[in-house]
Amino acid sequence: MCRPISPRLLRLQRGVIIATDISNTPAFSQLDIAPTIASILGLELPEKDGRAIKAVADWGCKKAALIIVDSLGYDLLIHLLPQMANMNLLSQDGLLLPAKAVSNRTTPAIASILSGLLPEHHQILDKAGAKESSILSLPEIAASAGEVCAVIMEQNGAEVYQGLIQKVYGIKDSLPPHEFDHEACRLTCQALLDRPDLLVSYFIGIDKNAHLGSDLKGIREAALLIDSCIGRIMALADEETLLVICGDHPIHAGRLKRVDEPYCVAMILARGRGRWPE
Ligand SMILES: [Zn+2]
């Protein structure tokens, strides 16, 4: 599924830009997410290895909700997209891009997504490193600028933000994958009711199923659960909210493990579709 469909990287299709060619290094990276969200929020990152994605600048967004989906590789998403009503809708409304994965491991990849820095620059290689690191990530930078931030993650990741941002929700990663994602969905929807400036949420089901050795059917079920939650999120996030959905790495374990380059994750950028009374 990673083969080029068109010789051009970007193709304009019914007004929607769809990236089609990831046979070479893709033009976009996970490193672009933090600079893009920072520019929406009017913030400056102290250092960054990525660039703000210009296409979203004129969407009129002032807030952002970042949904990190563990193991959401680009080829996996393209394969499942016809069945994923909500991510499909957002892709058609906005942008679906292959983004270069900076690491094949969860913690360094998420640190890059949240800082805009390469792993060799943020040096966060494991959960203990995340707690000790002095590198500022987007939620901390936004909170210190007075923005209301919410983080919904597995317990260890969430603890990093305790006392630094307004709303921190930790979820036990000992929960079965579907229970974890149901809880992540419930807490994300609850947090969105307060209309935070920045929300970061994390879904684990695809990755856990991959590690448990599930076949494509099991992975698809996990992805469909996440897609149904994306539907609730996009109905709660208003049109001034930039939704960013991205993977941390392609599937890195189990039967569907990606073993060849290019290592690309899916990145969807779109506006929320909720309408709130003035
Ligand atoms: Zn991961």
Given a contact cutoff of 8 angstroms between Cβ atoms, the answer to whether 229 and 181 are in contact is yes
Residues 6+ positions from 88 with CB-CB distance below 8 Å: 81, 82
Q: Which one has a higher pLDDT value, 25 or 189?
A: 189
Report yes or no on 7 lying in a domain.
Answer: no
| Residue 9 is assigned to a structural domain of this protein | no
Q: Using one digit for the tens of pLDDT, what is the confidence trace for 34-77?
A: 999 999 999 999 999 999 999 999 999 999 999 999 999 999 99
Say if residues 243 and 221 touch (Cβ distance below 8 Å).
Answer: no
Cα 211 to ligand 1 centroid, rounded to whole Å: 10
Tell me, in angstroms, the distance from the centre of ligand 1 to residue 220's CA. 17
- The answer to whether position 2 is within a domain reads no
Cα separation of 178 and 170, whole Å? 16
Please state the rounded mean pLDDT for residues 81-110. Answer: 95
Domain around 254 = 16-271
User: If you measure from the C-alpha of residue 141 to the centroid of ligand 1, how many angstroms do you get, rounded to a whole number?
Assistant: 24
- Domain harbouring 220, CATH code: 3.40.720.10
* Structure-block tokens of residue 145: 């600028």
10 in any annotated domain: no
Mean per-residue pLDDT, 85-113: 95
Protein residues placing their CB within 5 Å of the ion ligand 1: 70, 106, 207, 248
Note the pLDDT tens digit of each residue in 193-208. 999 999 999 999 999 9
Kindly state whether residue 277 falls inside one of the protein's structural domains. no
225-269 residue pLDDT tens: 999 999 999 999 999 999 999 999 999 888 788 877 778 999 999
- Average pLDDT (131-145) is 92
What is the Å distance from ligand 1's center to 103 Cα? Answer: 9
* pLDDT tens digits, one per residue of 206-218: 999 999 998 999 9
- How many domains are contained in the chain? 1
The reply to whether 56 falls in a domain is yes
CA 221 – ligand 1 centroid, Å: 18
Residue 187 identity? L
- Confirm whether 186 is domain-assigned: yes
pLDDT of residue 260: 77
Site of tokens 């002032």: 62
Instruction: Give me ligand 1 centre to Cα 76, in Å.
Output: 14
pLDDT, position 131: 77
CA distance 48 to 209: 33
Give how far Cα 214 sits from Cα of 38, 75, 176, 210, 218, Å: 37, 17, 13, 6, 5
Specify if 223 maps to a domain: yes
Q: For 38, list phi and psi in degrees, rounded to 5.
A: -60, -40
**DSSP code of 170?**
E
For the chain, give the percent of residues with pLDDT over 70.
91
